[in-house]
Amino acid sequence: MLAITVDAAKAADFLTARINMLQLPFDTDRKGYVLVCASGGSQDEGTIPGKALCYAELTGCDPYGDGFLWKFRSLYWIEPFDAADAAAPFEVDDDLIRIIPGFIEPIDAFNEFYRPAFVGDDTHWQRLLEVFTLEDEDEDPGFW
């Protein structure tokens, strides 16, 4: 699978569905699934540095500012694993990617798979966990 490395804070925002686009310095005409990895160079609070965290479907790429805006949909959580800190897209063996099953409650998935690798607190997760506990099913949680 194609993989990209982004700043650990951006990867945390992506993983928790705060954002569904990433500004990157390179263009692509490729569509399909992309593995999102967090840079290991940062130890920012509330991040999981140096790990592959999730993947999503790349639906488009447009020029934006000094780079390109990669647009995604359909976020999938995976069991985090050590990943390269690459400056350009790279390939990852599909056998390394293990999807967290959808029947596992989000809080349980967080505690089992993501919390052990977190640096500092888990503030990025508060919004996500609140979304899954909405009582009003008509309320739009803002997911992409």
Digit-coded pLDDT (tens) for 90-120? 999 999 999 999 888 877 888 899 888 888 7
Distances in Å between the Cα of 126 and the Cα atoms of 63, 67, 107, 122 are 32, 31, 10, 7
Digit-coded pLDDT (tens) for 60-79? 999 999 999 999 999 999 99
Count the neighbouring beta carbons within 10 Å of the beta carbon of residue 133.
8
51-64 and 32-38: which strand pairing?
A: antiparallel
Q: What is this structure's pTM?
A: 0.85
Residue 113's closest CA among 64, 78, 139?
Answer: 78
Residue whose structure tokens are 């967090």: 38
67-82 and 21-24: which strand pairing?
A: antiparallel
Contact 18, 124 (CB under 8 A): yes
